[in-house]
Amino acid sequence: MEAIKQTVAQNIGIGGAHTLVPEDQQFDLNQTPNLKGKVAVVTGGSEGIGYGCTHTLLAHGIEKLFILSVSQEVVDSSLKAIEEEMGPETAKKVTWLQCDLSDWKKTKETADKIASSTDRIDILINNAGRGIMTYQVTDYGVDRHMAMNHMAHVILTSHLLPILKKTASTGSTVRIVNMASNAHQSTPSDCKFESLEELNQDLGPNGQYGRSKLAAILYSRYLNRHLTSSHPNILANATHPGFVDTKMSKEDIHEPYPLGGYAMSVGMAPIKKNIMQGCVSTVFAATKTEKSGQYICPPAVPESGSSLAQDEQLGDNLMKLTRELVKEKTFEDSAAKGCPFTDY
């Protein structure tokens, strides 16, 4: 019975679902602390779960908010909604930076722009990514799911590390959140993260997506082992949002499954979470938790994840391959110019 309650609480959008877990694992957006004076960065923060996060951060007094996304039209709509609900002064706290995460050079340049625009970063939410879609490769010749959902966020985080560490050195708690999913369990059991050839296998839509979400958990635990161990004020966690009503589950799902996708986009609509329900675990990880290296499911439930998600050697393999591929594919714009490729 407890397992059923956990499953419902973590994944379904029915009223009161989040109260089905033990009291010490409950969290409500109204419990988000006062964020006055703090600065946040959110990728994909203009729509879906990302917008749920940015809306909540602004509602609780965040001083400055950087949103990274692709579409000017979408961010304009989001900023209009924020201005209408919270006023023009709140909307002015937002800086939008156009960034396609499949472009690693642009991602690095965007990180540099952020670092030159603020003297602190308290919250980094690596949320944006490619959903359950077909296998593609980027212009770098790397699986698009891994390139965007994982490697681009490593690039962004790594280039923001100096200011994250500076913020932590003042005594403030810095929180890094990587968006994962229970879909990580669909990763093939023989995953090794040992070569580009392995990454560029077509695993099918669920396998491609799931593996990139496994990477989010492994990356968070890698940061906990190597970054939090030496900078205890910097916390790194991964989160699962649940089954949420977003563009990914309404529109993008029809790219791999033109007809079958209706089971998710329409058939499951009555039980999906809305974006505010879907952002709860991520907001908890970004503003409230004092733990690091966890995989947090809604509302604030630490889970172990799959056996692959607990494999430290696999995490080390992942990060070694990430460094090697990014260095090789961006050499003229990175290593040749002295980039140290430090990921912690």
Active-site residue list: 209, 213
Per DSSP bridges, beta strands 234-239 and 295-297 are: parallel
**Cα–Cα distance measured from residue 339 to residue 102, given in angstroms and rounded to the nearest whole number:** 19
Q: Which amino acid is at 231?
A: H
Entry field: residues in the chain: 344
Structure tokens at 10: 């973590």
| Residue 285, amino acid | A
Contacts of 3 (CB under 8 A, 6+ apart): none
Tally of CB atoms within 10 A around 67: 26
For residue 120, what are the contacts with CB-CB under 8 A and spacing of at least 6? 38, 39, 163, 166, 167, 170, 172
Distance CA 190, CA 325 (A): 21
DSSP three-state, residue 120: coil
Q: Which residue, among 208, 184, 185, has the nearest Cα to 135 in the 3D structure?
A: 208
